[in-house]
Amino acid sequence: MPACWTSPAGAYLWQVALHSAVAGLLLYAWWRRLPRPGAAVGRRLLALLLLLPLATALVPGRSSFEFREERAWFDGLRLLALPLGGALAVHHLATGAAALALLATVLQEVAPVVRRRSRRRLPAPQTLVLRARALPGWERCAVEVSEEPALRVVTTGWPGRPRLRVSHAALAALSAPSLAAVLRHEHAHWVRGRWWRDHLLFVARLVQAHNPVALWVFREYLVEREIGCDREAVGEGDPAPLVAALLVLYESTDRRDVAARAVLRRRIDLLLGRSRRGDEDPPPRTLLAVALTLALLLPWLV
Amino acid sequence: MAGLRRWASFLLLAAGLFLGLRLLHVGLPLVSPQVPAAPRRLADPALARRYTGFSAWLPFYRPAKLGARPVEVVVTHRPDPALHVVWRGERFLVLDQRRRAPSPPAAARPLAGRPGAVEWQEGAVRRAQLRAGDLVIDVATDLELADLERLVASLTPVERLR
């Protein structure tokens, strides 16, 4: 067993992944047993799953040999040392999984940002600028058109200084009502503290770049976030313009990208009311009790 | 009330999962000897290979003052597998065998009888260190220097002693 697994940094990273896996399994099983869970409980549980392991793995005084052997409820090093045949042991598998998760983090989270930054930018049409700046809180919004072949409408920047970037292809493909609905969707990312929440969770995700559970949890969180912003963009109005925009995006997405197309289909179905979500979210104090229970239990796993 | 019931169902799930983890914690060292567990006492140093991955080295020469058999044979796993063998009669002898060990002090002198071995004194305890294959063996005893030299010179893998 390489010594890096018992070094302070190695032990912390391992415990983050272990706590994340155990909490993920528990929360998923619990969520499945809820009668008709709504969207909010899903988002809160996913956020809890991203943040809590970073704290529980930090609880001090648990790295000593005595704690592992005499007080810990479960010592993960026993599992990691389990031989799999030949010179292979479970810790080799764990290292491989961590390396794959790290690679996925670079490809999914870091590379798109670098790619976006390198695109050439064109001046935005005045109508688009006016429409964006008419949205509440976006009076100082910078608007750019990027020269890229993909349909893309994204926002970057900081609260108080948002930056809307629309690809040339999106401008050409979307009708005026669809573009307005997409702008309302992007605007929804900046209200109700979503920007801060998303960025906090993004940082938590980057810290857990090695953690395959965090990889899955953050993807699920992003899907839930998009669904929430869709709902807010449509409000009580007609979902058709946003659905039309999503359909254009669906058609332009590579057929091999099954996951992205499935998410778009799900968003469209929810907007059209073809599939319904539950509305029986457990009260916040139940979620708090669950979070506290996990916070008390997880530090006993090392 | 519904909230309490839901929390209770979470507790039930947590109890089940934690019970499973505990079973793994206790069961894994029983299933595989290479899985590190608490220090393990062995009846015979010859069994050490199963738990540490290396053969125990024992001295062929053992003065009667040490007693007939080792009183303690213990395998530990952290940070690396290590074997700790103790004889205690009128005099004592402690052998610690592992793959990595701290270097001897600068005052250590070469020990006659085994190339590369060194010895030094710490109060009433005479200490020696030597390399044997990929192992580092630390010796601690209150025997005379001549006994220590003969003892270290006779260190042999346990399989060859039989």
- Summarised one tens digit per residue, pLDDT across range A117-159 is 666 777 788 888 888 888 888 888 888 888 877 888 888 888 8
Q: Which chain A residues are Cβ-neighbours of B33 within 8 angstroms? A: none
For residues B49 and B102, state if they share a domain: yes
A25–B17: do the CB atoms touch at under 8 Å?
A: yes
Whose tokens are 């020269």? That residue is A147
Whose tokens are 């919004």? That residue is A141
pLDDT grade for A101, boundaries at 50, 70 and 90:
very high
Quote the minimal CA–CA distance from A280 to chain B in Å. Answer: 11
Whether the per-residue pLDDT at A226 is higher than 80: the answer is: yes
For residues B44 and B121, state if they share a domain: yes
H runs (alpha helix) in A134-211: 168-173, 176-188, 194-207
* CB within 8 Å of B27: residues ≥ 6 apart: none
For residues B24 and B84, state if they share a domain: no
**Residue A276 contacts B, CB cutoff 8 Å:** no
Domain ranges of chain A: 3-300
Q: Would you list the DSSP string of B62-83?
A: --GGG-SS-SEEEEE-SSS-EE
Distance CA A130, CA A49 (A): 40
Q: Looking at residue B48, what is its pLDDT?
A: 86
For residues B110 and B151, state if they share a domain: yes
Quote the minimal CA–CA distance from B127 to chain A in Å. Answer: 26
User: Can you tell me whether residue B55 is helix, strand or coil?
Assistant: coil
**Which residue range(s) make up the domain with B6?**
1-31
For residues B119 and B143, state if they share a domain: yes
* CB within 8 Å of A151: residues ≥ 6 apart: A167, A169, A170, A173, A174, A248, A249, A252
Taking CA atoms, what residue in A is nearest to B52?
A1
Residues of chain B under the 70 pLDDT cut = 33-34, 36-39, 78-79, 162
Nearest CB to A75; choose among B17, B25, B79: B25
For residues B66 and B6, state if they share a domain: no
Distance CA A252, CA A116 (A): 18
Q: Looking at residue B47, what is its pLDDT?
A: 85
User: Can you tell me whether residue B122 is helix, strand or coil?
Assistant: strand
Q: How far is CA A179 from CA A165, A167, B34, in A?
A: 12, 12, 62
> Cβ(A301)–Cβ(A22) under 8 Å?
yes
Quote the percentage of chain A above a pLDDT of 70.
97
Taking CA atoms, what residue in B is nearest to A4?
B79
Distance CA B145, CA B127 (A): 10
Distance CA B114, CA B156 (A): 12
**Residue A1 contacts B, CB cutoff 8 Å:** yes
Whether the per-residue pLDDT at A217 is higher than 90: the answer is: yes
Overall number of domains in chain B: 2
Here the CATH number for the domain that contains residue B157 is 3.30.200.100
Rounded to two decimals, the ipTM of the complex is: 0.81
Q: Looking at residue A110, what is its pLDDT?
A: 78
Whether the per-residue pLDDT at A115 is higher than 90: the answer is: no
Q: Which residues of B touch A (CB under 8 A)?
A: 2-4, 6-7, 9-11, 13-14, 17-18, 21-22, 24-25, 28-29, 31-32, 34-38, 78-80
Nearest CB to B34; choose among A65, A83, A282: A83
For residues B22 and B46, state if they share a domain: no
Task: Provide the mean pLDDT of chain A.
Answer: 87
Tens digit of pLDDT for each residue in B106-143? 989 999 888 989 999 999 899 999 999 889 999 999 99
> Cβ(B143)–Cβ(B89) under 8 Å?
no
Taking CA atoms, what residue in A is nearest to B4?
A286
**Residue A295 contacts B, CB cutoff 8 Å:** no
For residues B96 and B157, state if they share a domain: yes
For residues B55 and B8, state if they share a domain: no
Tens digit of pLDDT for each residue in A10-60? 889 999 999 999 999 999 999 988 887 777 888 899 999 999 999 999 998
Q: Looking at residue A3, what is its pLDDT?
A: 65
HSE-up (13 A, CA, CB side) for residue A228 = 21
